């Protein structure tokens, strides 16, 4: 069962939402438009199986975006879509300590500190409720 995630935002109203996915791990991949929750979960599941793990961006028409590192454990950064501050990182109550994570970003591996690691099911719930 997925972990419970607390958010300050209401759940997405998929009937009117427009989410664009930008895959930074593959420069040849076209941007994708996500139409519903099932499609988003499917995309995240596909990305989770990618080797090496990659990063992508979910840009929502509500003016915010999530930069996500997707693997068995991942990371999520929330920020305004216009690249203004603040940049907020998701964390969990009991961080997954240990080694740092690496994700493919623009052709090279980018290191993310391990204290920002979150389980995939938490990442998925954050993305769905963005």
Domain boundaries, the chain: 19-128
What's the CA gap between 110 and 32, in Å, rounded?
A: 23
Percent of the chain's residues with pLDDT above 90 = 64
What is the average pLDDT value for the chain, to the nearest integer? 86
Instruction: Evaluate whether 90 touches 70 at the Cβ level (below 8 Å).
Output: no
Question: Can you list the positions of beta strands (E) in 9-113?
Answer: 19-23, 32-34, 54-60, 64-70, 73-80, 88-89, 101-105, 108-112
Residues 29-45 pLDDT 10s:
899 999 889 999 999 99
């Amino acid at each position: 069962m997925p972990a419970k995630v607390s958010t300050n935002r209401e759940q997405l109203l998929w009937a009117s939402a427009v989410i664009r996915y930008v895959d930074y791990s593959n420069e040849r991949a076209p941007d994708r438009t996500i139409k519903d929750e099932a499609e988003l979960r499917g995309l995240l599941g596909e990305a989770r199986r990618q080797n090496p793990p990659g990063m992508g961006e979910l840009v929502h028409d509500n003016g915010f975006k999530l930069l996500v590192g997707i693997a068995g454990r991942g990371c999520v950064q929330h920020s305004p879509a216009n690249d203004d501050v603040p940049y907020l990182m998701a964390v969990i109550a009991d961080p997954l300590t240990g080694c740092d994570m690496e994700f493919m970003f623009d052709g090279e591996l980018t290191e993310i500190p391990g204290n920002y690691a979150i389980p995939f099911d938490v990442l998925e719930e954050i993305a769905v409720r963005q």
